[in-house]
Structure 1
Amino acid sequence: MCRLALKTANRPFSPYEVLTAMEAMQEGYDGSGLGLLLRGMEFEDFKYNPKFPILSGIAHTEKGWHQMTSFMEDRGYELKYDHRFSMHPELIEANDRYRYFVRAYRMPERFRGIAKEKQEAELLKTRLALRKIGEENNDLSVFSFWPDVAMIKEVGWPLQIGDALCLHDGQIKSRVCMAQGRQNTNYGINLYACHPFFIQGISTMTNGENTAFVPIKEWLLGKNITGYMGYQSDSEVFAHILHYTLKKLKLPLAAYKHIITPLSTSELNSHPQGDFLKGLRDACKRLVIDGPNAVIGTLPDETCLLVMDQKKLRPATVGGKKGMWAIASEICGVDAMIPDRDPSLDFQPMREHTVIVPPDRKELLIWSQHDQLPLPLAA
């Protein structure tokens, strides 16, 4: 098992707040990996323009650092901001950490003003190219390259990593923060295996074990879609299925749950969109998961979501108040992030639910698979 924590708020906050929630749930992970995703960025020493894509990762050697900086310059990216973490390197377990980086760039001139889809394709292509360069000599890890998003991944205990990078000093904040403490079960320790996983602005993290991993991975790889690769963790497919649902099938978010945990035929027979959903189930049958899993995700517009699988053996709770919400594997995690909420309003989803915190953060939205999808569908 792992432990998950997410906080989303209208006012940017320190990621250290979410690390305190991880500390409250510390019996659920073993220090083999921590992942953080920050969305809706604010820097103390730079007025960030959300249009600038942010490159985040680790240069393990000086050579890897120079390869990365040269590649970005040659590709035409103009560096606008280079965040420097205050460091306590003695708290980092690994000894091959030359430089942690969070760097904002201006897009190359040739990509300004073009269609959004082409810009997004360029950002993905650039991230994958840097990852390939880094994997050749294990001297560079790149976790994200996207506007208004930064990712931090490291081996160790959450608060220890937070202290090592001085994440409590207020120099870096965000409106959304996702954190996962990894329990290393069936894979080696690898930074790319740390959740959250990220592709084109879409991110997920999971508590559980995806026992249907191999057929799902093979189906996704068979689509030959750029970015569907890696899979150092069996949970990375959840991010790619969400990406496939929204970006390739162009379906509403509520359809994600119908793809990974479809209703039974008897349930679909009485569903107002039963014929469509049966067809969707048949077309995507290789994407059906076999948990236990709890999946938490975020989208580019800062929408946050929580879904469970049919077994519902990996708990998760959402609670909060207007303008501020938290999701965590345990109630004590929600308590740590939003102690002054009304706990009687906390919600634990059942197998058919998709829990949504919309970008305005006014209230929770709870969708049921038994309801109609929120957008009209072609016959």
Structure 2
Amino acid sequence: MCRLALKTANEPFSPYEVLQAMEAMKEGYDGSGLGLLLRGMEFEDFKYNPRFPILSGIAHSRKAEQRMDEYMDDRGYELKYDHRFAMNPEKMSGKMRYRYFLRAYRMPPAFKDRPQEEREEEMLRTRLDLRRIGEENNGDLTVFSFYPDVAMIKEVGWPMEIGEALCLWDGQIKSRVCMAQGRQNTNYGINLYACHPFFIQGIATMTNGENTAFVPIRDWLLGKNIPGYIGYQSDSEVFAHILHYTLRQLKLPLQAYKHIITPLSSRELETHPQGDFLRGLREVCRRLIIDGPNAVIGTLPDETCMLVMDQKKMRPATVGGRDGAWAIASELCGVDAMVPDRDPAFDFQPMREHTVIIPPDRKELQIWSQHDQLPLPQAA
């Protein structure tokens, strides 16, 4: 098992708050990896423009950093801000990497007035090229994300240890959304790319559980030849790509994600008002049906957050909060650590048919059931 924690708030906060929630759930992971995703960025020493994509990752050598700089210059990107973490190497039990980077860029002039879809395709190509360049040079460059208003930090080790080593308590970076996963290595090797959350074009997920249907799902996704459907050092990375496929390729609402990964039975669909459509969706996407147990937490570019579970419901997660601040965690103590000033009587643990949605206004939870109607165009 792993442990997950997410906080979303109207006022930007330090990622250290979420690491403290991870510490409260420490018995659920083994120190084989920490992943952090920050969305809705605020830098202490830089007035950030959300149109600037942020490149985040690790350069493992000076040559790797130079290679990255040359690539970005040649492609026409202008560096606007280069965040420098205050470092405490003595806090890390292992050796720290050469350079952890968060860099904001102005996009090439050719993309200044291009539609958002074209800008996102360019950012994805750039991230994939940099990842490939790193892999071709003995893995000396690791790139996690390249997208506006998003930054990612990943490292092998214990969450609080990494937070102390990178001085994440100092308030130099804050965000309105922070996702964190403490990894327990169960299936694959220890690899930075295997740390959750996973990210593609503004869509991110992290998972607690195991996906025994991983291989057929992976092969189906790879067969689509969609840029970005690569990697798969973790069986959970497919959850991010299925969500991306649901929203970007099928152009369905967020609620449809649950129907794809855990569809209703034929008997349940007989009485569903959209039964014919959902039967067709199940047939077309049958290779994407998961076999849990899993709890999946996700976030979208507009800062929407969501939580779903599979049919087995053996990897619990709880959501709680108040107007303006909400938390999702694998354990109740994690929610307590992130939003202590809430009324716990309104905490909610979803059942197998639920999708819990925290909208960008963060006023209240939306609890949607698969037995409800999807907000589809009238023709569906």
TM-score range, shorter chain: over 0.9
Displacement of 1:96 in angstroms is 6.1
Distance apart, 1:314 and its partner CA: 0.1
1:278 aligns with 2:240: no
Q: Is the 8 A contact 2:75 2:108 kept in 1?
A: yes
Q: Which residue of 2 aligns with 1:236?
A: 237
State the one-letter code of the partner of 2:116. K
Q: Residue in 1 aligned with 2:375? A: 374
2: CA distance between counterparts of 1:318 and 1:25? 15
Equivalence map 1:40-189=2 (5 Å): 40-95=40-95, 97-136=97-136, 137-189=138-190
Structure 1 residue identity aligned to 2:75 = R
Structure 1 residue matching 2:351: 3-state secondary structure: coil
For the Cα contact (< 8 Å) 1:207–1:294, is it kept in 2?
yes
CA distance in 2, matches of 1:337, 1:347: 15
Tell me if structure 1 keeps the 8 A contact 2:91–2:165.
Answer: yes
Contact 1:60 1:96 in 2 (8 A): no
1:120-173 CA deviation, whole Å, 9 max, x = no partner?
A: 000000000000011122111000000000000001111110000000000000
Q: In structure 1, give the amino acid aligned to 2:58.
A: I
SS in 2 for 1:10: strand
Which position in structure 2 is the counterpart of 1:361? 362
Question: How do 1:303-314 residues align onto structure 2 when only pairs under 5 Å count?
Answer: 303-314=304-315
Report SS of the residue matched to 1:291. coil
Q: Residue type matched to 1:66 in 2?
A: Q
2:3 is equivalent to residue 3 of structure 1: yes
Shift of the 240–377 alpha-carbon distance from structure 1 to 2, 3 Å rule, reads farther
Are the aligned partners of 2:59 and 2:101 in contact in 1 as well (CA < 8 Å)? Answer: yes
Does the alignment pair 1:13 with 2:13? yes
Q: Which residue of 2 aligns with 1:29?
A: 29
Q: Which residue of 2 aligns with 1:208?
A: 209
Shift of 1:377: 4.7
Q: CA separation in 1, counterparts of 2:99 and 2:90?
A: 14
- Kept in 1: contact 2:294–2:315 (CA 8 A): yes
Match of 1:5, SS state, is: strand
Greater mean deviation of Cα atoms: 298-307 or 63-72? 63-72
Output the CA distance in 2 between the equivalents of 1:377 and 1:124.
Answer: 33
> 1:267 is paired with a residue of what secondary structure?
helix
With over 3 angstroms needed to count, the CA separation of the structure-2 counterparts of 1:155 and 1:377, relative to structure 1, is farther
What whole-Å deviation, never above 9, does each CA across 1:298-357 have from its counterpart, x for those lacking one? 000000000000000000000000000000000000000011110010000000000000
Determine the structure 2 residue equivalent to 1:334: 335
Change (3 A) 1:96 1:8: closer
CA contact (8 A) 2:89 2:96 kept: no
Q: Do 1:93 and 1:155's aligned partners in 2 also have CA atoms closer than 8 Å?
A: no
- 2:347 aligned with 1:346, yes or no? yes
Partners of 1:227 and 1:13 in 2: CA distance: 30
The letter for the 2-side match of 1:153 is K
Which amino acid in structure 1 is aligned with residue 120 of structure 2?
E
Determine the C-alpha separation between the residues in 1 that align with 2:27 and 2:169: 23
Partner letter of residue 242 of structure 1?
Answer: L
| Structure 1 runs, 4 residues or longer, greater than 2 Å off | 90-96, 375-379
TM (norm. structure 1) is 0.99
Is residue 295–residue 308 contact of structure 1 (8 Å, CA) maintained in 2? yes
Inter-partner Cα distance in structure 2 for 1:335 and 1:108:
44
Cα distance in 2 for partners of 1:94, 1:77 equals 34
CA distance in 1, matches of 2:96, 2:254: 40
Letter of the structure 2 residue corresponding to residue 100 of structure 1: Y
For 2:74 and 2:7, the matched residues in 1 are separated by 37
Shift of 1:116: 1.1
Matches within 5 A, 1:214-253: 214-253=215-254
CA contact (8 A) 1:61 1:96 kept: no
- Inter-partner Cα distance in structure 2 for 1:183 and 1:337: 22
The two structures, once aligned, show a CA RMSD in angstroms of 0.8
Alignment size in residue pairs: 379
Query: Residue 105 and residue 68 in structure 1: after superposition, are their counterparts in 2 closer, same or farther (change >3 A)?
Result: same
How much identity, in percent, do the aligned residues show?
81
What residue number does 1:324 align with?
325
Deviations 1:166-188 (A, max 9, x none): 00000000000000000001111
Q: Distance in 2 between matches of 1:376 and 1:267?
A: 22
Say which SS state the counterpart of residue 356 (structure 2) adopts: strand
Offset, 1:368: 0.3
Query: For 1:345 and 1:85, how far apart are their aligned partners in 2?
Result: 38
Mark the runs of 5 or more structure 2 residues left unpaired by the alignment.
none
Give yes or no for the alignment of 1:296 onto 2:297.
yes
Give SS of 2:169's match. coil
